[in-house]
Amino acid sequence: MSGNAGRIQAISQIVNRQPMPPKKPASLESIWAENVFNLTKMKATLPKAVFKSIKKTIVAGEKLDPSIADAVANAMRDWAMSKGALYYAHVFYPMTNMTAEKHDGFIAPQGDGTVISEFSGKLLIQGEPDGSSFPNGGIRGTFEARGYTAWDVTSPAYIMDTDNGSTLCIPTVFVSWTGEALDKKVPLLRSIAAMDKAASKVLKLLGNTDVAHVNSSCGAEQEYFLVDANFASQRPDLLLAGRTLFGKPPAKGQEFDDHYFGAIPERVQVYMQDVEETLYKLGIPAKTRHNEVAPGQFEIAPFFEAANVASDHQQMLMTVLRHTAKKHGFVCLLHEKPFAGINGSGKHVNWSVGNSTQGNLLDPGDSPHENAQFLVFCGAVIRGVHKYGPLMRAAIATASNDHRLGANEAPPAIMSVYLGSQLEEVFEQIKTGSISESKQKGVMDLGVDVLPYLTKDAGDRNRTSPFAFTGNRFEFRAVGSNQSVSGPLIVLNTMLADSLEWVGNRLESELSGGAELNTAILTVLKEVMEQHGAVVFGGNGYSAEWHKMAVEERGLANLPTTADALPVLQAEYVGDLFAKTGVLTPVELESRFEVYAEQYILSIEVECKLMINIAKTQIYPAAVDYLSKLSSTISSLESLGVSLEKGSAQTVADLTSSMVGAVTKLSEALDKHDFGTTGEHMTYCASTLRPLMEEVRGYADGLEGEIADDCWPLPTYQEMLFIK
């Protein structure tokens, strides 16, 4: 079937699509977490002593008692099999931003030809997938294939349903035979432990006697596009690269601002409701859904959860979005920039820290003590972003996110902190030492001077800031929609652990020197602002003035591409940070640089190969065919004495010739492989291959604007974005 015939058939199938049969919605209370082996189900199925022991591990972070594993495994198996599960899977998160799982049956054949179900504590605690095909960044040779999964008791097991059955899924970590972390979960758990240790020390120095385990929390807003599967199946670039490598912008895009928060199309809303029902069964607290800015773009946002669980839930959410889309005839695109010229998709990570005794530590309180405590933790965040801003940029560095950062819907690649007008004024007063009442009513008495009363939402939002305080949390807005949130959370937790350790040491020094607590707090915060206040910025992050000021006057790093950002992982100060907090060993950190650099290089090279193939096998033949038809028509009309302008034919001929020349240059450039270092190879991809790709695209998109619609081989932006 020719390209255009396929497009016509796709449109017909979409227009004549029969709606899915109606389904009576279930009540939230009846389905909530029904597929999760959570504390409630553990309490109902485990012996009392076993439940108390495992609860201490989950809630208080105490060490797991391995002697209880058999009892937990038996209860977990019985619960899973009662829900139809015949298999269990250790689920883990390798350094690919994807989810991996190995499935094993409960089946245990017996000597008499019968079978029994079997699931021991040993099988629960440890698995052994073949680790040879997962990226490891040089931690082991290809012939050293052994890898282990180990049960993460802090993240609940769950049932994943399919039309043909159910599987018990057990969140695990993934490590090499020699013990190095090969995944994103181990460093995340370590970062939480490091942050808890440093935060607990500071809280006790601030006069708190009862200090519970401190954890970070995460609420990640997930943006995505939906494209009808009939169109997506005819776009090799969407299927293999996740984004359109070619495509002329439609006459109408998002310029009318008529899609954001608009009425959700009925077919999309049915899909969303199906997604949410699955999420609720998995205990994932999806809260908000709406149209996003671009046509065909949408968002789902959950409530806050503990960071490790939120990270697992984010992986599950992306899986559910993709799988459910197939049932509804959609393809769900999580690429950061699937369509050029309109908004891309982010995953805004809302991050805070707290515990059960002091509450949210980034929430201004109602008492002088609570407000002083808040300012200390907020100051630690400011210090962390200033010291480790380049590391934050490296944590969100991917080939796909490079297309989005700095555009109108995404913050720039310069890491800065937005505090809001009132809070910024407070910290400026601390810095200058001239503390007075603010414009707001009410004051906060620290016992030494007057500081303004801190209210939530005391300033407007700044959509251009990559890291903005939004009332009781910070929003990391630069994270890409296709990323695991583990990487950003690891960096945020680790840099906060480092800053809180510094704050704790400084407070101890001041207090041991005879200073009163409130005086010591102000002294330390003044030092923070003097040394690190340059990272605080409340203006327009898109402006050329800010870019110049940030780099030249404030000394902040501007790392526009992944090739610029990933080498930060090799910096000595970054290695020192991870080593002293115990989050990553030097070997593990180097492995991450190698893995992420390789993924960047491979992503661009795959796109180059795709672009060359589509240009040669689909666009070039369409252009030649159209030119042939056009020339034949012109000749026939001229034989009848009708004279026509040949400008269009000449334009198509010129664009075709130019595209072929650009494709040749791209092919030759892609053949280069003599690079001295990985960094040199990345730079080549960013500075040579990417511009050549844009050149090919420019000519191809020009052809789309000249060739008759019935001759164009690929579904267009207009069709994919507006036909649902």
How does pLDDT run across 56-114, given as a tens digit for each residue? 888 877 888 889 999 999 999 999 999 999 999 999 999 888 898 889 999 888 877 77
**pLDDT tens digits for 252-281?**
988 888 888 999 999 999 999 999 999 999
Q: Assess whether pLDDT exceeds 80 at residue 227.
A: yes
Q: Which of 428 and 144 is assigned the larger pLDDT? A: 428
The pLDDT assigned to 449 comes to 46
User: What pLDDT is stored for residue 256 in this prediction?
Assistant: 85
Record the tokens describing residue 353, joined without a space: 């820290």
pLDDT at 129: 74
Structure tokens at 191: 């970062």
Confidence grade of residue 148 (pLDDT, cut at 50, 70, 90): confident
pLDDT confidence tier of residue 453, bands split at 50, 70 and 90: low
Asked if 82 and 91 count as a contact pair (C-beta separation under 8 A), the reply is: no
Q: Determine contact, residues 659/620, Cβ cutoff 8 Å.
A: yes
Q: For residue 202, give Cα distances in angstroms to 380, 400, 402, 558, 716.
A: 11, 39, 37, 32, 57
Range with the largest mean pLDDT of 158-162, 647-651, 663-667: 663-667
- State the amino acid at position 657 in one-letter form: S
514 contact partners, CB below 8 Å, separation of at least 6: none
Average pLDDT over residues 352-357: 96
Q: Write down the pLDDT at residue 208.
A: 94
Say whether 142 sits in a helix, a strand or coil: coil
Work out the mean pLDDT of the chain and round it to a whole number.
89
Asked if pLDDT for residue 716 goes beyond 50, the answer is yes
pLDDT of residue 364: 86
Distance from C-alpha of 77 to C-alpha of 100, rounded to nearest angstrom: 21
Measured CA to CA, the distance from residue 712 to residue 621 in angstroms comes to 10
Instruction: Using a pLDDT cut of 90, give the percent of the chain over it.
Output: 69
The confidence band for 124, taking pLDDT boundaries of 50, 70 and 90, is very high
- Confidence (pLDDT) at 323: 95
pLDDT tens profile 184-205: 999 999 999 999 999 999 999 9
Q: Tokens at residue 20, please?
A: 């899915």
Q: Among 165-179, 557-571, 650-664, whose mean pLDDT is lowest?
A: 165-179
pLDDT at 450: 45
pLDDT higher than threshold 50 for residue 458: no
Give the confidence band of 15 by pLDDT, cuts at 50, 70, 90: low
Indicate the length of the chain as a whole number: 724
Q: What local confidence, expressed as pLDDT, does residue 97 receive?
A: 83
Q: What is the pLDDT of residue 340?
A: 94
336-371 burial by CB neighbour count: b if 16+ within 10 A, else e?
A: bbbbbebbbbbbbbbbbbbbeebebbbbbbeebbbb
Average pLDDT over residues 701-714: 94
- Which residue from 164, 170, 160, 166 is spatially nearest to 86, judged by alpha carbons? 166
The reported pLDDT for the residue numbered 673 is 86
The token pair at 661 is 């020349």
Closest CA to 577 of 720, 716, 389, 710: 389
- Report residue 3's pLDDT band, with 50, 70 and 90 as the boundaries: low
Distance, in Å, from the CA atom of 623 to the CA atom of 706, rounded to the nearest integer, reads 9
pLDDT tens for 472-494 read 999 999 999 999 999 999 999 99
Residue 551 corresponds to which tokens in the numbers above?
């780099």
User: DSSP string of 475-540?
Assistant: EETT-BTTS-SHHHHHHHHHHHHHHHHHHHHHHHHHHHTT--HHHHHHHHHHHHHHHHGGGB--S-
Q: Each residue of 510-539: pLDDT tens digit? A: 999 999 998 999 999 999 999 999 999 999
Least confident of 9-23, 184-198, 448-462, 558-572: 448-462
Query: What is the structure's pLDDT at 701?
Result: 97
Over residues 162-179, mean pLDDT? 89
Of 348-352, 487-491, 709-713, the poorest mean pLDDT is in 709-713
Is residue 220 within 8 A of residue 485, CB to CB? The reply is yes
For 236, residues 6+ apart whose C-beta sits below 8 A from its C-beta are 610, 613, 614
406 torsion bin: left (phi>0), alpha (psi -120 to 50), beta (else): left
pLDDT of residue 366: 75
Tell me the per-residue pLDDT of 430-450, one tens digit each, with 9 for 90 and over.
888 766 554 443 334 444 444
